[in-house]
Structures are given as C-alpha cells and as structure tokens.
Structure 1
Amino acid sequence: MAETHNIFRCVIVSPAGKLLDCRASSVVFTARDGSMGVLHNHTPMLCELGTGFMEITAEPENGNANGNGSGHKKALIAGGFALVSSNLVNIIADDAVCVWNTSREKIELLLEKSKKIIDTAGLTSHQKWLENKKMTLLKEMLATAK
C-alpha cells in the first residue's frame, strides 16, 4: 500500500468539465515561464499555465483512482491557471486533452479544428504561435496513440 503522507490531490478542469480528480505523488506542468514540478507539501502558489504536456504520477485509491486508474498520466494543457495549496493541485485549463483516454480519431478532429483556427482572420501572431504549438503537441499525441 502506498504511503499516504507523500500523496496530494490533483484536479484538472476545463470548459468541457472535470477531466481528472485523483491522488498523486508528483505533478509536472508547463507554466507560462517554464516547467513546474509539484510534490507533497509544496508551497502555495498561483501561476499562469502555458501550452504543453502535464505529467501526473497517480496513486490508486482503494484500487481505483476515481475511474482514471493509477500510474503515469499525461494531459495536453493549453493555457489557464494552476493553484497549488494545502496538498491540492487545481488546474483550471482553457483547453485540455487527456492523453490516456483520447482516441486517434478524436486527436485527428482536434488537429483539423486547430488548422481551421489558424486559418481564421484576425488572430494575433501570438495566438497563431500558441495554436501551432498545440498542433505540434497533438501530432506528438497522434504518433503515440492507439
């Protein structure tokens, strides 16, 4: 049985709803100004999220991490905020895709959507850069998808 004194709660929410709620032993995410790692008893902080992969080491809860299983998990996060406080990591994402339960077909649809967004008139160069970065990460997901 895992020692609970090194465990904290990790929650990911996006406009689509709650994507993950699990016990974790470590979390690494892309903040706007670089990578951030979180372990048990991390100092409280609020930071802006960048676009990149979030890696979670999930721990089992009575044999089940709220239907999400345990082990190494990866999610694509595109913007938002991270709040770390009292052994809780809250990720409030502008957009998020869970790598562990997203099919090839869904990733291909997301790529098409990103292409259409990039072709939209009126985007700033920064918005286009962010969408291109998201597309690159989606292509990486597609290469490893089942």
Structure 2
Amino acid sequence: MSLQISILTPERPFWNGQAEEIILPTETGEMGVLKNHAPIITGLDVGAMLVRTKDQWNSFAIMGGFAVVKNNLVTILANEAESASTIDPEDAKNAFENAKNNLENAEGIKQKVEANFIFKRAKARFQVIKVVNKIS
C-alpha cells in the first residue's frame, strides 16, 4: 500500500490520489513522507510541494496550512493550492521578479512584511514551474 493523499482548500477538495512519496514545505524546512511514516501534525509554509506517484512527480504551490500524517493517510489543509499545470510560466517568472524587486526596495516594517508575503507566494509559484521543467 502507498500513501493516500488528500489536499483540501476552503473552496473545495483540491487533489486526491495515491502517492509513493510527498515532500512538504513545512515551517521548519522541507519534510519528506514515505509509507509507514510516524504520525505527525505539522504547519505548512508557503512553498512548493512535490508528490511522487508511480508514474511521475506532480508539483503544487501551497500557500500555508497544516498537514496530518497517520496510517499512510496524508491530509493537507491548505489556505490555497495551485497545480503547476495551471500556472503560466511567463506570468510566474514576471511576478517573481517584480516581487523580488519590491521586497528589495521596501521601506518600513509594514511595507517589508507585505512585500515578503507577496514574494513568498510568487517564489512558490515560480519554484513549481522550475520543478516541472526539470522533471519533464
């Protein structure tokens, strides 16, 4: 038996399927999960999540949330999720570059916090596109 993955967002069930491995963007770094992983609940950071099925790697941009791992079932409660297949590569690259420039030029705490949030989201979407291009 492999892992059963469920990704849920506030709007809808986002993705369900079987996987051999999943790499999560946690608040303390990336965490890999294989079959028979110890039970755990972890916070998710904004970042790229990778799911390896028997046939291929799938990548998703996850915009924070939580993950629960127990008995080969991985339930992800994400604030937002986006599949690499729905992200326009050129838009993702441009948004990343703009967000990076805005972060570098931000002044004051409020502006820096807001720019950092936008940068992390743009970076996650851009990473997902780069991963797909490397795997393909």
Same fold (TM over 0.5): yes
TM-score, normalised to structure 2's length?
A: 0.73
Q: 1:78 to 1:45 in 2, by over 3 A?
A: same
User: Which letter maps to 2:51?
Assistant: I
1:89-108 alignment runs, 5 A limit: 89-99=74-84, 101-104=85-88
Could you tell me which runs of 5 or more consecutive residues in structure 1 were left unpaired when the two chains were aligned. Answer: 60-69
* 1:43 matched residue in structure 2: 38
* 1:9 matched residue in structure 2: 4
Alpha carbons 1:19, 1:98 under 8 Å: kept:
no
1:125 CA displacement: 4.2
Q: 1:94 to 1:103 in 2, by over 3 A?
A: closer
* 2:124 matched residue in structure 1: 137
Which structure 1 residue ranges, 4+ long, deviate > 4 Å from structure 2?
140-145
Identity of aligned residues (%): 24
Aligned length: 122
User: Which letter maps to 1:40?
Assistant: K
Alpha carbons 2:59, 2:128 under 8 Å: kept:
no
104, 107, 115: which is aligned to 1:128?
115
Alpha carbons 2:87, 2:125 under 8 Å: kept:
no
Could you tell me which runs of 5 or more consecutive residues in structure 2 were left unpaired when the two chains were aligned. Answer: 104-109
Query: Could you say what the CA RMSD is over the residues aligned between the two structures, in angstroms?
Result: 3.0
Separation of aligned partners in 1, 2:128 and 2:48:
10
* 2:107 matched residue in structure 1: none
Alpha carbons 2:62, 2:82 under 8 Å: kept:
yes
**Between structures 1 and 2, the one with greater helix share:** 2
